[in-house]
Amino acid sequence: MKKILVALTVLSVIAGFSNLSTQAVTTDNTKDKGYISVNTSAESEVAPDLAEISFAVKTSDTKSMQKASAANKEISDKVYAELKAMINPAAGDYIKTSNFNAQPIYSYSNSKRNFEKYEVSNQVIVHTKSIDKIGKMIDNAINAGATNVDSLSFSLSNYDSQCDELISKAAQKAYKRANILAKAVNSTVFGINNINTSCSTDGNRQPRLYMAKNMLAATADAAPETASGMSISNGVIKINANVNASFFVK
């Protein structure tokens, strides 16, 4: 019986040494692992193919909120109709209204509140790929009664695919650069430790325009031959992709 116990004890000790040996081998395989970090980028300039224009329609009446609201609806409908005739829904163009607001307007004098008028405002927004018609759209909308052009912004319909392509280029540059650095220090790249990517535009493609009806009238009087279509430059959109990666080396 004692011999059996001794044998079991010896086997347990051997098993313990076997586990220790295995752990040591694992540690030896990883202790010399290092990594190289690189940061690369890729960029491109692309002509935008989407535009969004926001037109404001403001009306007022000193007697009745209903009259101010009715006048706003009449003008908004005219602006909507003008723009609808110029867009292409089959290409994804659309028009919507938003930010309807109706409120009394007061002035203050000697700490006293004085009623001035009822004011109603509304926005007609057009989303279009018809970039070449933007100038004419602005002219027609203001002629139809739009008070202001609140904003005009350009963008890309294929932004995601453009980003994917640039990120791929930046990642290839990162891998190439990591290999150059590894070779310079007599090492070899053998895997990815981690990788982070980002993609953005330059943020400068959102020009803002403010144009009152009387400004358009003055322009038409000064140069009737150009009043049929305002000249709008959409420029280009710069897209930037960045890759921050680290690669294992040995």
pLDDT for the residue numbered 235: 80
Beta partners for 109? 112
Q: Given a cut of 70, is residue 29 above it in pLDDT?
A: no
Helix, strand and coil in the chain, % to nearest 5: 40, 35, 20
Q: Given a cut of 50, is residue 214 above it in pLDDT?
A: no
Neighbours of 29 (CB within 10 A): 10
Instruction: Decide if 95 contacts 87 (C-beta within 8 A).
Output: yes
Burial class (CB in 10 A: 0-12, 13-18, 19+), 203: exposed
Neighbours of 214 (CB within 10 A): 8
What Cα–Cα distance (Å) separates residue 60 from each residue in 69, 101, 137, 148, 217?
8, 12, 25, 15, 21
Q: Given a cut of 50, is residue 1 above it in pLDDT?
A: no
**pLDDT tens profile 134-173:** 999 999 999 999 999 999 999 999 999 999 999 999 999 9
Range with lowest mean pLDDT among 21-25, 121-125, 238-242 = 21-25
Q: Taking residues 117-128, what's their average pLDDT?
A: 96
